[in-house]
Amino acid sequence: MPLRKLVAGNWKMHGLSSDLDEIRAIAARAREYPNVDVALCVPATLIDRAARAAPGFPIGGQDVHFAEKGAFTGCASAFMLRDAGASLTIVGHSERREAQRESDADVRAKAEAALSARLDVILCVGESLEVRDRGGAVETVIAQLGKSLPQELLSGAELAVAYEPIWAIGTGKIPTNAEIAEMHGAIRGDLIDRYGPDGREIRILYGGSVNPSNAAEIFSVADVDGALVGGASLEAADFIPIVAAAAS
């Protein structure tokens, strides 16, 4: 039985008050596809206003600190995101793993903190082009999962995994269907090994240059339970056709 699809937008460092109308438009048009879960992960500064602008529509953050509070200048905790109106968060995005030097252990701690705060989590993994070219993609991603997945699944919040090949993010390049199928199949096997039958219910999203033209084909691949979408999530005109592809 295929899992219900989740299409989440990652707005990265984009989004001002002037973009709230776009969020309203995305939320309104997403309601036309009730068989798909849709969410937008916006900058922390916009969570509160986005949640108020689109009541009932899932708004998420893009990172959390692992601690609940404390002397961590510039950071926001999972409880703070929830308090601002978020219902989910991304953790372990490759842009943070690279630029902020986040380790797998950091990502695990963030995922566990977010789930404890009842935020749904999208945990990102993915290989570099160099690793893909030398044939180590599956091994690398499974090793990342081994060290960054939460130790246990907590009820009350949902974990999803996003496979995001680093070389496909924002580049217009995407893996072949066979490469996506191989990776998602390996991730599914690992989730079942780790969590037992619950591992079958964890959605595995594909992320990296998803757009209205390639979404339907990507969603047709086995074990692709949705998408994490960057650039094409900024405007309803691009994002909603991707949601529509997930619905059909």
Catalytic residue set = 93, 164
Q: For ligand PEP, what does the binding mask look like between residues 140 and 169, x meaning CB under 6 A?
A: ------------------------x----x
Q: Give the separation between CA 211 and CA 224, rounded to whole angstroms.
A: 15
What are the structure tokens assigned to 65, written together? 């600190």
- 228 lies in the site for ligand PEP, by CB under 6 A: yes
Binding window for ligand PEP (CB under 6 A); candidates: 74-82, 111-119, 141-149, 204-212:
204-212
Exactly one of 86, 199, 209, 236 binds ligand PEP (CB under 6 A); that residue is 209
If one asks whether residue 173 binds ligand PEP (CB under 6 A), the answer comes out as no
Radius of gyration of the chain (CA): 17
Is residue 110 within 8 A of residue 62, CB to CB? The reply is no
Please state the closest distance from residue 8 (CB atom) to ligand PEP, in A: 9
Binding of ligand PEP by 10 (CB under 6 A): yes
| Count of residues interacting with ligand PEP (CB under 6 A) | 13
Picking from 120, 119, 170, the residue whose alpha carbon sits closest to that of residue 14 is 170
Helix (H, G, I), strand (E, B) or coil at 38: strand
Closer to ligand PEP by Cβ: residue 79 or 223: 223
For ligand PEP, the closer of residues 13 and 178 by Cβ is: 13
Please name the residues in contact with 248: beta carbons below 8 A apart, sequence gap of 6 or more: 216
For residue 180, which of 217, 212, 143, 145 has the smallest C-alpha distance?
A: 217
